[in-house]
Amino acid sequence: MADLNITVMSGRLVRDPVVRNNGSKMAFFTIASNRRYRDKTDAWQEETAFVPCKSFGWWAEAVARHAKGDTLIVEGRWRTETWSDDGTTRSQLVLVVDSVQFFTPEPRAQSSSPSANGTENNRATPLPGGPSRDAPPF
């Protein structure tokens, strides 16, 4: 039986994504995901997980259009990345993102111009292979 390595989580961007282009686009970003629970004394507690993420290609471009604080859901797989730092081997668990869904709309360009009918174009960018965010879910 094959192993299963799939993670789906929601959270907020901790800082603006960093995008690099080394032949293909790559975005680095961190998600803060909160959890509320009751402890043994029945008091509410909150903990936050900070998850480093990496996305490639079209998804890197989509992530790059968003900023710190934007809410999103990511789906991806865990990968351990290792490197050497001054002779010391280091490693980090990274979520390699396969898809992203944003709850926060993309910001409009500063030079946003009204469409031909005099109203502003407020449509979300459709996801590849999927319906527009404006389309009903049925």
- Which of 10-19, 40-49, 118-127 shows the lowest per-residue confidence on average (mean pLDDT)? 118-127
Range of the domain at 33: 7-37+46-102
Q: How many CB atoms lie within 10 A of CB 127?
A: 16
The answer to whether residue 11 scores a pLDDT higher than 80 is: yes
CA pair distance 60, 46, nearest whole angstrom:
30
Between CA 124 and CA 122 the distance in angstroms is 7
Residue 117 confidence (pLDDT) = 43
Cα(127)–Cα(76) distance, integer angstroms: 16
Q: Give domain status of residue 110, yes or no.
A: no
Rounded average pLDDT over 55-79: 93
Residue 76 lies in a domain: yes
Diameter over CA atoms, the chain: 63
Between CA 58 and CA 35 the distance in angstroms is: 30
Is 92 a member of any domain? Answer: yes
Joined together, the tokens standing for residue 80 give: 């351990």
Q: Is residue 25 part of a domain?
A: yes
pLDDT, mean over the chain: 82
Residue 29 lies in a domain: yes
Lowest-confidence range among 5-9, 82-86, 132-136? 132-136
Tell me, what CATH number does 16's domain have?
Answer: 2.40.50.140
At 92-126, the pLDDT tens digits run 999 999 999 998 777 655 444 444 444 444 334 44
Q: Which residue has the higher pLDDT, 133 or 9?
A: 9
Q: How far apart are CA 17 and CA 8, in angstroms?
A: 19
Does residue 136 fall inside a structural domain? no
How many domains is the chain partitioned into structurally?
1
* Angstrom distance (rounded) from CA 121 to CA 132: 14
The pLDDT, as a whole number, for residue 109 is 54
Residue 21 belongs to some domain of the structure: yes
